[in-house]
Amino acid sequence: MPPAPTRFLDLDGSRFGIPTYPWGWSKHFDPDLGTKAQLRAQGLSIAGLEVAAQLMWASTRSPRRDRVRTANLYRPSLARPVRPMTPAQERALSRAHLARHTCSECGRVWDVYLPTSNGRQCPPPAGCRSFEAPEREFGRSVAVAA
Ligand SMILES: [Zn+2]
């Protein structure tokens, strides 16, 4: 027997605690609802917001025994815009990125993130040693240009 179409519908929250809608149906019952990602796409933050309702749907990807997944819904009308990053935050983020790109042994800066699994050093098999020659070459070309 297929599940009843109203299995995930609970308008007043009497069954699930908060108003619950089947996946894809919340807009039809209450247009002023959105997921975190939907609010973020509108430049809105869920910070300080209470969960207003939830989506509920059956999915094999659910870790739950009943194979049900849920998603929190918030009120876009109450949400505030995402705060832009402050200059200090941007500096801190840049420093963190630079650290992730810089070899902890020789200080070479890479285009890619260096994994912490090898102590954030130049990648094997060559490691730090192999780059002495290209760096000297780089120094020479700078001298020519200047
Ligand atoms: Zn290195």
Quick: pLDDT tens for 16-37: 999 999 999 999 999 999 999 9
Query: Is omega for the bond preceding 2 within 30 degrees of 0, making it cis?
Result: no
* Whole-number pLDDT of residue 134: 53
Q: Would you say residue 3 lies in a domain?
A: no
Question: 115 C-alpha to center of ligand 1: Å?
Answer: 12
100 CA from centroid of ligand 1 (Å): 12
HSE-CB at 136 with a 13 A cutoff on CA atoms is 5
Q: How far is the CA of 89 from the centre of ligand 1 (A)?
A: 28
What is the rounded average pLDDT of the residues 71-94? 95
Distance from residue 95's CA to the centre of ligand 1 (Å): 18
Dist. CA 27–CA 145, nearest whole Å? 63
Q: Which residues contact 44 (CB under 8 A, 6 or more apart)?
A: 76, 79, 80, 81, 82
Q: Is the pLDDT of residue 145 over 50?
A: no
- Spacing, Cα 104 to ligand 1 middle (Å): 7
| Parent domain of 112 | 91-145
Instruction: Give the distance (Å) from ligand 1 centre to CA of residue 142.
Output: 21
Mean of pLDDT over the chain? 87
In-domain check, residue 10: no
Domain assignment present for 7:
no
Which are the contacts of 11, defined by CB distance < 8 A and separation ≥ 6?
Answer: 19, 29
Helix, strand, or coil (residue 20) = strand
pLDDT band at 146 (very low <50, low <70, confident <90, very high): very low
> Is residue 35 situated within a structural domain?
yes
Query: What total of structural domains would you count in the chain?
Result: 2
Would you state the structure tokens that stand for residue 45, as one six-digit string?
Answer: 């933050």
